[in-house]
C-alpha cells in the first residue's frame, strides 16, 4: 500500500480563498515533498521539507510537517484559477523508499 494518504480527495474553492490539503504517512521519513500535476501531465515539484523542519514557505505556499503525527499540510494562499490541479505529497525514507500519496484534486472557481 502507498505510504501517503491525502485529505481531502477533492476540494473546490473560490478564487482568492485559501486551500489546505493534508498528507499522512505511515513510517519515519527523511523528507517530504509536494508536487502538482495538471490533468494528465507530468508532475511539477513545489517544495521539499526535511524531517527536522516544521514549516517552510515558498511564495504563496506554506508547508508544515509534524513528524510526531506523521502528517504534513500544504496551504495555498490567495488561490487562482491556475492553481487548479492535483497535489501529491511524496515521502522518502530509509532504504531508498519513495512513495506518493493518493493526491488531492483542487478546483479553483474563477
Partner 1 sequence: DSGVTQTPKHLITATGQRVTLRCSPRSGDLSVYWYQQSLDQGLQFLIQYYNGEERAKGNILERFSAQQFPDLHSELNLSSLELGDSALYFCASSDSGGLTDTQYFGPGTRLTVL
Interacting residue ranges for partner 1, rule: CB under 8 A: 2, 30-31, 33, 40-45, 48, 88, 92, 96-103
Q: What's the closest the beta carbon of residue 56 comes to partner 1, in angstroms?
A: 14
Q: 13 or 43, CB closer to partner 1?
A: 43
Q: 15 or 92, CB closer to partner 1?
A: 92
Contact between residue 74 and residue 23 where contact means Cβ atoms under 8 Å apart: yes
Q: What's the closest the beta carbon of residue 77 comes to partner 1, in angstroms?
A: 22
Burial 54-84 (b: 16+ CB within 10 A, else e): eebeeeebbbbbeeeebbbbbebeebeeebb
Amino acid at each position: 500500500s502507498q505510504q501517503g494518504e491525502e485529505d481531502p480527495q477533492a476540494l473546490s474553492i473560490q478564487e482568492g480563498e485559501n486551500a489546505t490539503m493534508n498528507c499522512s504517512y505511515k513510517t519515519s521519513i527523511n523528507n517530504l515533498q509536494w508536487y502538482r500535476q495538471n490533468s494528465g501531465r507530468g508532475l511539477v515539484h513545489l517544495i521539499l521539507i526535511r524531517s527536522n523542519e516544521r514549516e517552510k514557505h515558498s511564495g504563496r505556499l506554506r508547508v508544515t510537517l509534524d513528524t510526531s503525527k506523521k502528517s504534513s499540510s500544504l496551504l495555498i494562499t490567495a488561490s487562482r484559477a491556475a492553481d487548479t490541479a492535483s497535489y501529491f505529497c511524496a515521502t522518502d525514507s530509509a532504504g531508498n523508499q519513495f512513495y506518493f500519496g493518493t493526491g488531492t484534486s483542487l478546483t479553483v472557481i474563477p
